C-alpha cells in the first residue's frame, strides 16, 4: 500500500515536472533523454530495479536531472527500503526545485523516510516503550509532588498556629508573673493617698481597698490611719 502511494505521488510530480511550465525552469533535456524515457517505461512495467539504473545514468550525465532524482528517491524508499539514499535524492531534487509547487510533497516524503529509518534502528520499539513508561512515571511523580506540597503547606499552617498559640501562652504567663510580682510590691504612702486610691492604682478599681487594709492591719489600726512615708504591702 505504501509503495503504491509513493509511486502515485512520484508519478503526479513527474507529470508536473514534465509540463512546459516547469520544463523551462529546471529541465536541460532530461525529458527527452532516451535513458530517462526508458526508465519511465520500466517503471510503468513494474521493473523498478532496471529503472533505477537508467535514472542513475541520467543523473550522472545531467546536472539538472530533477525528475530522475525524484524517481530514484521513490525507488530507494519503496523498492529498496533504503531511506538514507532516498533522503539524499529527495534533497537533491529540492536543491534544484526548492520553490516548485511539488516541494512540499517531497519534504513530506523526506519525513516519511526519516521515520522509516528511525523505525529500523535496533531496539527502537523498546526505547519507545521505555520513553512512554518514563512519561507515565513522570506524571505520577508530578502528581505526588503536588500532594506533598499541599501537605507541606498544611503542616506549615499548623506549625504557625501552634507557634502563635505558644507565643500567646507565653504572654499570658508573663502577665500573670507580672501580676503576681506586683502583689508583692510595697507602696510608699504619699500626701492625699487613701486605700481606695491605692486600690485604683494597682487593681484598676477602688473596691479592693479592704484587701490592702487586711494585708497591713499590723501597721494600720483603721482604714484612714495612713501616715505619709509609710510602706504598705500590696497583696
CA atoms within 13 A on the CB side of 227: 7
Is the same domain home to 7 and 115?
yes
Q: How many domains does the chain have?
A: 2
pLDDT for 29 equals: 81
Give DSSP secondary structure letters for 50-108.
HHHHHHHHHHHH-TT-HHHHHHHHHHHHHTS--HHHHHHHHHHHHHHSTTSTTHHHHHH
Q: At which of 122, 156, 191 does a domain end?
A: 122
Among 122, 140, 168, residue at a domain's last position: 122
Q: Which residues pair with 186 in a beta bridge?
A: 233
Residue 137 lies in a domain: no
pLDDT at 132: 58
Pairwise CA distance, residues 142 & 155, whole Å? 20
Crossing angle of helices 103-120 and 66-78, rounded to 10°: 30
Tell me whether residue 62 is in a domain.
yes
Containing domain of residue 16, as a range?
2-122
- 161: cell is 498556629
User: Based on the domain organization, do 118 and 36 belong to the same domain?
Assistant: yes
Q: Please indicate, yes or no, whether residues 185 and 92 belong to a single structural domain of this protein.
A: no
105 and 198 housed in the same domain: no
Please indicate, yes or no, whether residues 99 and 13 belong to a single structural domain of this protein: yes
- 33, part of any domain: yes
- Reduce the secondary structure of 119-158 to three states and give it as a string: HHCCCHHHHHHHHHHHHHHHHHHHHHHHHHHHHHHHHHHH
Domain-embedded: residue 23: yes
Q: What is the pLDDT along the chain (235 residues), one digit of tens a residue?
A: 444 445 444 544 444 444 333 343 455 688 899 999 999 999 999 999 999 999 999 999 988 888 899 999 999 998 888 899 999 999 999 998 888 888 889 999 999 988 888 877 765 555 555 555 666 777 777 888 888 888 888 888 888 888 877 777 766 666 556 555 555 688 888 988 999 999 998 889 999 899 888 888 888 888 888 888 888 888 8
Domain assignment present for residue 159? The answer is no
pLDDT confidence of residue 99: 85
Output phi, psi for 198, to 5 deg: -65, -40
CATH assignment at residue 198: 3.10.350.10
Q: Is residue 97 a contact partner of residue 30, using CB atoms and an 8 Å limit?
A: no
Dist. CA 190–CA 212, nearest whole Å = 15
Q: In sequence order, what are the beta bridge partners of 232?
A: 187
Boundary (domain end) residue, out of 104, 122, 140: 122
In a domain, 109, yes or no: yes
* Cell numbers placing 225: 490611719
- Cα dihedral sign, 66-67-68-74: positive
Residue 129 forms part of a structural domain: no
Residues 195 and 111 in one domain: no
Amino acid at each position: 500500500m505504501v509503495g503504491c502511494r509513493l509511486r502515485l505521488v512520484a508519478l503526479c510530480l513527474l507529470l508536473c515536472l514534465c509540463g512546459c511550465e516547469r520544463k523551462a525552469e529546471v529541465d536541460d533535456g532530461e525529458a527527452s533523454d532516451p535513458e530517462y524515457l526508458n526508465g519511465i517505461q520500466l517503471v510503468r512495467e513494474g521493473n523498478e530495479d532496471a529503472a533505477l539504473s537508467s535514472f542513475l545514468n541520467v543523473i550522472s550525465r545531467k546536472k539538472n536531472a530533477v525528475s530522475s532524482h525524484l524517481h530514484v528517491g521513490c525507488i530507494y524508499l519503496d523498492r529498496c527500503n533504503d531511506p538514507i539514499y532516498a533522503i539524499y535524492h529527495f534533497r537533491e531534487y529540492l536543491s534544484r526545485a526548492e520553490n516548485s509547487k511539488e516541494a512540499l510533497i517531497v519534504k513530506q516524503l523526506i519525513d516519511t523516510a526519516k521515520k522509516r529509518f528511525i523505525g529500523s534502528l535496533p531496539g527502537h520499539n523498546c526505547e519507545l516503550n521505555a520513553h512512554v513508561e518514563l512519561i507515565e512515571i513522570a506524571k505520577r511523580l508530578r502528581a505526588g509532588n503536588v500532594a506533598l506540597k499541599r501537605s507541606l503547606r498544611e503542616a506549615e499552617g499548623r506549625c504557625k498556629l501552634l507557634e502563635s498559640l505558644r507565643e500567646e501562652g507565653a504572654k499570658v504567663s508573663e502577665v500573670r508573673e507580672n501580676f503576681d510580682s506586683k502583689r508583692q510590691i510595697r507602696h510608699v504612702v504619699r500626701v492625699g493617698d487613701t486605700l481606695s486610691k491605692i486600690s485604683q492604682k494597682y487593681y484598676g478599681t477602688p473596691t479592693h481597698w479592704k484587701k490592702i487594709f487586711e494585708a497591713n492591719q499590723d501597721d494600720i489600726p483603721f482604714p484612714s490611719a495612713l501616715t505619709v512615708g509609710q510602706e504598705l504591702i500590696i497583696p
